[in-house]
Structure 1
Amino acid sequence: MSAALELDGLKKSFGKTEIIRGVDLSIGKGERHAIIGPNGAGKSTLFNLITGRFPQTEGAIRLHGQDLAGKAPFQINRMGLSRSFQITNIFPKMTVFENVRCSLLWSMGYRYNFWSMVGRSRALTEGTDDILDQINLTARRNLPAGVLSYAEQRALEIGITIAGGADVIMLDEPTAGMSHSETDYIVDLIRTVTEGKTLVMVEHDMGVVFGLADQISVLVYGEIIATGTPEAVRANPKVQEAYLGEALEDH
């Protein structure tokens, strides 16, 4: 399997404090890969490095073999990588439809043109409606996004994340703060909308991790201490000692 995303000797320091301490990782195309670890392990920093929000101190990040060094987040997005955030990131006063439509504009050829009448574009409307159908929000199409339930807002953000056609999707804590039923809803949604794509996610809920991931990497104090299948990671004594412990007994 060829790699969709490769990290080679990746390091990140803030002043004298080293947060990411030499991460090597290869994520195959079409793989669902979870990154887990205790609070403060560096998971969000790792996401921010990959998506161009932070520059790396050392090492390389490659997307489909292309070096991402010096690339801005919007450039990385146009290369085929899209992400969501821990805190829901939508336009609450715009309708659900308008939120998704905005995320489709660039991928459908609309640029910075004040004269474009996007509301008259049949292809854009159909593309938006297709995304809404995928995320089960067609019935909420004309509502302001801010009135959606928390789970629906997260679903909308996932729709925005996939709308640009990226083939590498990064989700940061997609089920954080959800009830069991909301979590089940979002997990089913993620499984459906990332079919055939590469998924990289940070997630604390071990039920979600072991239900979705093909491969798991465990990040502890800025270093990956293990990578493998859910079964191999579950049985790894080093992982159990450093992070998972007795929590896995419930899953």
Structure 2
Amino acid sequence: MAAALHLNGLCKAFGKTEIIRGVELEIAKGERHAIIGPNGAGKSTLFNLITGRFPQTSGTISLHGADLAGKAPHEINRMGLSRSFQITNIFGNMTVFENVRCALLWSMGYKYSFWNLLDRSRALTEGAEEILEQINLTERRNLPAGVLSYAEQRALEIGITIAGGADVIMLDEPTAGMSHSETDYIVDLIRKVTENKTLVMVEHDMGVVFGLADYISVLVYGEIIATGRPEEVRANPKVQEAYLGEVLEADH
């Protein structure tokens, strides 16, 4: 069976500056995989390469065995990969329900048929309501998304991310800027909505990483220096020296 996501010799340079340097990574279907590393390690660049926002300089990226080279972000999304961003990306003036419904349009066959009367589509309405229930925002469905709390907006963005039915979900710093209680809420939500899906996340909060991830990869200066189960990565001397020791000290 092909890996959900496979990076082979992946490199990215901007001019003469190498940001991603020969990354090898295989993520199995249904796995929850965290990518950690210091600021400037290339984590966001790696996400942008995988999702088609940047073209790779060399190497390959495959999704369920299909080569992603030259694919635009929307094409990759339709192949079953969806992502969120560090900065919340929602339509603040639209209601919570309308945000989710918009995200469902393509996957439910509406595409560019804007003349359809969306309010009369029972399947579309039921699909949106099902996602709202999953992300615990049913009671907020008629509010403008912009008035939600920060954690609720992140929850809505996760709902939008999963709305297209993607089986590979990429989350970029899903708990950034949150309080402990907000973080607990989002971690529980991520665990629930990614059940039976493949999760790839970038995250700085080690409590979140060790609580959610089946496997962890450590990216330092554009190279993966270790991949393994959380306990293996925590005990790895190279990881402690390059990154993890400093982070764990800072958390105390």
TM above 0.5, yes or no, is yes
Residue 125, structure 1, aligned to residue 142, structure 2: no
1:195 Cα deviation from its structure 2 partner: 0.1
Q: Provide the rounded CA distance (Å) in 2 between the counterparts of 1:33 and 1:18.
A: 24
The equivalent of 1:14 in structure 2 is: 14
Quick check: 107-116 or 167-176, which moved more?
107-116
Q: Provide the rounded CA distance (Å) in 1 between the counterparts of 2:175 and 2:153.
A: 11
RMSD over equivalenced CA pairs, Å = 1.0
Residue 90, structure 1, aligned to residue 105, structure 2: no
1:221 Cα deviation from its structure 2 partner: 0.1
1:113 Cα deviation from its structure 2 partner: 1.6
Q: Provide the rounded CA distance (Å) in 1 between the counterparts of 2:237 and 2:9.
A: 25
Q: Provide the rounded CA distance (Å) in 1 between the counterparts of 2:213 and 2:13.
A: 29
The equivalent of 2:51 in structure 1 is: 51
The equivalent of 1:75 in structure 2 is: 75
1:248 Cα deviation from its structure 2 partner: 3.0
Query: Which consecutive segments of 4 or more residues in structure 1 shift more than 6 A?
Result: none
Unmatched tracts of structure 2, length 5 or more: none
Aligned residues, how many? 251
1:110 Cα deviation from its structure 2 partner: 0.3
Residue 143, structure 1, aligned to residue 158, structure 2: no
SS at match of 2:4: strand
Q: Provide the rounded CA distance (Å) in 1 between the counterparts of 2:170 and 2:113.
A: 29
Percent identity (aligned): 86
Q: Provide the rounded CA distance (Å) in 2 between the counterparts of 1:174 and 1:247.
A: 18
1:246 Cα deviation from its structure 2 partner: 4.5
The equivalent of 1:210 in structure 2 is: 210
The equivalent of 1:107 in structure 2 is: 107
Q: Provide the rounded CA distance (Å) in 2 between the counterparts of 1:56 and 1:2.
A: 21
Contact 1:80 1:168 in 2 (8 A): yes
The equivalent of 1:226 in structure 2 is: 226
SS at match of 1:3: coil
The equivalent of 1:116 in structure 2 is: 116
The equivalent of 1:60 in structure 2 is: 60
Residue 39, structure 1, aligned to residue 39, structure 2: yes
Deviations 1:174-205 (A, max 9, x none): 00000000000000000000000000000000
Please list, as runs of the form range in 1=range in 2, the aligned pairs for 1:137-176 lying within 5 A after superposition: 137-176=137-176
TM-score norm. by structure 1 comes to 0.98
TM-score norm. by structure 2 comes to 0.98
